[in-house]
Amino acid sequence: MAQKIYLNGKLVPREEAKISVFDHGLLYGDGVFEGIRAYDGRVFRLSQHLDRLYDSARAIALKIPMSKKEIEQGVIQTLRANNIKSGYVRLVVTRGEGDLGLDPRNCEKPSVFIIADKIELYPEELYKKGLELVTVATKRNIPEAIDPRIKSLNYLNNILAKIEAGLQNMPEAVMLNKDGYVAECTGDNIFIVKDNVLITPPFYVGVLAGITRQTVIELAREKLELLVKEEVFTRFHLYNADECFLTGTAAEVIPVVKIDGRQIAEGKPGKITNRLMKEFRDLTKDEGIKIY
């Protein structure tokens, strides 16, 4: 069956889903997006994703030409049209077609498109063995310039960090902020566990307000009855953590066992990490809007 793409209110065949070369999303990375998961016919935390999309759009003074309800219907319609029960949704709003100047006032109408696809899952082995990370020289964008809470189409900051990790044959990079505090990875938030306290960097360090990050904070507090702190920490704290893991829509909860050549604790996924991994997976089975 041919893939159907939602483009400005219509479902069109993939071959016809085209955006102008004058779209400022392409010319300047001027736009916002979301990556969303569907699990067995349920869309996970869709309202939180839509809230973040609209917050990102407002932060860049982009008026989305549809209501949240209409976008929600668009997401559901696109999943159904492609008969996807478990998969990944990419929801994008660009500034729209303009001229070659960067002034967004010349862009008449933002473009909205939605792609529903199968998801490339990380190998299950990584969840059993854990990831190795490296810190990279590329600093996370400073919030005073481009706030990393804006999930914008300009991902060069993260791509540069990913390139650095790749050059060292490492799967993922830890990004620090300009003051040397741990921020996040290129497409995932980071957590450490120390003395049974779960710690993740606060937003002012410069991190995306991850939906998975928020979900894990809630699970840790409510199901594991852990103390959770949003607190700054450095590489020293990473190296001396009892446990470390990443969170993201694609990765869910994934353990980290080595950073910059230093083994984290025993070099195996930690107990709390394993419990949160399981709690998260259980939650995806019974939470979210049913679409079939």
The residues carrying an active-site annotation are 151
Least Å distance between CB 139 and ligand PXG?
13
Query: Strand pairing partners for 200?
Result: 230
Least Å distance between CB 83 and ligand PXG?
23
Map residues 8-47 to x or -, x wherever contact with ligand PXG holds by CB under 6 A: ---------------------------x------------
Considering Cα of 186, then 205, then 35, then 112, what sign does the dihedral take? negative
Tell me whether residue 107 or residue 245 sits nearer to ligand PXG (CB atom).
Answer: 245
Least Å distance between CB 287 and ligand PXG?
14
The continuous run of DSSP H or E covering 94 comes out as: strand 87-94
Rounded Cα distance between 32 and 97, Å, is: 15
Tell me whether residue 187 or residue 288 sits nearer to ligand PXG (CB atom).
Answer: 187
Q: Does position 141 bind ligand PXG by CB under 6 A?
A: no
Q: Does position 248 bind ligand PXG by CB under 6 A?
A: yes
Among positions 78, 138, 200, 247, the unique one binding ligand PXG when judged by CB under 6 A: 247
Where do runs of H (alpha helix) occur along the chain?
24-28, 46-59, 68-81, 124-129, 156-167, 211-222, 235-239, 271-286
Q: Does position 188 bind ligand PXG by CB under 6 A?
A: yes
The residue type found at 283 is L
Rounded Cα distance between 285 and 113, Å, is: 27
Q: Does position 187 bind ligand PXG by CB under 6 A?
A: yes
β-strand pairing of 262-263 with 289-290: unpaired
Tell me the two tokens of residue 235: 């590489």
Q: Does position 147 bind ligand PXG by CB under 6 A?
A: no
Rounded Cα distance between 77 and 196, Å, is: 43
Least Å distance between CB 249 and ligand PXG?
3
Least Å distance between CB 246 and ligand PXG?
8
| Whether 53 contacts 91, CB under 8 Å | yes
Q: Could you tell me how many residues of this chain bind ligand PXG (CB under 6 A)?
A: 15
Q: Does position 206 bind ligand PXG by CB under 6 A?
A: no
With tokens 């050549």, the residue in question is 261
DSSP single-letter state for residue 240:
T
Tell me whether residue 17 or residue 208 sits nearer to ligand PXG (CB atom).
Answer: 208
CA 171 from centroid of its chain's CA atoms: 16
Tell me whether residue 30 or residue 172 sits nearer to ligand PXG (CB atom).
Answer: 172
Nearest in space to 47 (alpha carbons), one of 250, 230, 214: 214
Binding site for ligand PXG (CB under 6 A): 35, 158, 184, 187-189, 208, 210-213, 247-250
